[in-house]
Chain A
Amino acid sequence: MHMKKLWTYILIASLLPFTLFAATAEMPSINQPVTVMMVGVIPPRDLQIIITDSSGRELSEEDAIIDFEFPSTEEWEVSQSIQFSYSSQLASSKRGLLAFRIDNLAFGEGNANALQISLELASDDAYNTWVENDAFSINFLPGLLEKKEIGTLTVKIRKRADSVFSAGPFSGSFSMSYTEGS
């Protein structure tokens, strides 16, 4: 009987520390530091291509009109330039092709009395922008970039002395397309 009691004490005494340990396992003692992990995420930001005219004004889809004023001389050449740049925050670099297409400036219906237009593309960033026909082939860089220059597109309209055009407004369209990974 006495031995049975002893065994009961042994069992209780031996289990008590384990019970206490379980109860205080999540409570740090005076010697244990406590920590907080703060997590912040910088998400990737996709490409935004910015177009500005020669005065530095940004052109939007609704507001992309380029006005030309033709001289009243027999022979002339007029030009206007627009600049292309991009803002982005990419995780890694990627390639893209910005291609341009412009129609001749026509007077009224049809193309019979149209002014021929030529495009000139140029870029100061030879490492990341290549001119391929009427397109910019671009290597978009990773990291945060604000208005990183792509290049300049110059639209030129020329009239030779022997060409005859009607007086009045001429209009045409200008379009560009972007293809990723080209």
Chain B
Amino acid sequence: MKKKLFAIALILLIAVGWVFAEGEPPAASNVEATLEAVIEGDFKHGFTTTEGPYKSTTTVENAFEVNPELVYGFKAQHESPFRSLMKVDDFTESADPLKKVGIDSILVDGEPAEIAQGTSKYLVLEYKDSDVGYWRTKSATIVIAPKQSEVDAAPVGIYRSTVTIEIAGY
């Protein structure tokens, strides 16, 4: 038991050793280090679910009965502009990936989704030049429609499609 306690104390010392690398600092140094971590962690993006906004992952059922509607957003204060880019995979059957159902249309806030310049991904949201340095909260509603003719003709099975949104610079 004593051995374990010693080991933990040693690890903690190593982990925070940098804080005191230049001698014993005033208490304010600790606070500065903490603030840096907070700024990093306050960038949020993700999907709104029943559990709240900015969730990193969620699942939408019954995608062939009702066109999936996703609410995506970010809250950010950043030093450079960026874009939220989306990739939507075809539906593939769990047991046989050769069985597919394609995507018919993607709407972002009611408008057909556009491919972001210089990429092969759909543009969802932008943190523009004029936003740089300011807190911005933006969101968009995305509606994805599978190809109905392919749904009608698809063999029996459970089909899954992954929607991925990533942050990228210009």
Contact = CB atoms under 8 A, between A and B. Distances in A.
Given A27-B41, A27-B54, A40-B91, A35 B163 contact: yes
B47 A36 contact: yes
A38 B158 contact: no
Contacts of A6: 24
Contacts of A31: 167
A116 B59 CA distance: 65
A144 B155 CA distance: 6
Interface in B58-116: 58-65, 68, 70, 72, 76, 78, 82, 91, 101
Contacts of A41: 62, 64, 157-159
A91 B54 CA distance: 38
Interface in A138-157: 142-144
A10 B12 contact: yes
B27 interface: yes
Contacts of B46: 27-28, 34
Contacts of A29: 40-41, 43
Contacts of A23: 41
Interface stretch (A12-20, A72-80, A169-177): A12-20
By size class, the interface of chain B is 35 or more
B159 A33 contact: no
Given A36-B57, A42-B64, A89 B163 contact: no
Interface string A24-51: 1011111111111111111110000000
A90 interface: yes
A2 to B, nearest CB: 9
B94 to A, nearest CB: 9
Contacts of B38: 20
Given A39-B63, A40-B62, A40-B146, A27 B91 contact: no
B164 to A, nearest CB: 5
Nearest to B41: A24
Contacts of A178: none
A30 B43 contact: yes
Contacts of B76: 30
Interface of A: 6, 9-14, 16-17, 20, 23-24, 26-44, 89-91, 142-144
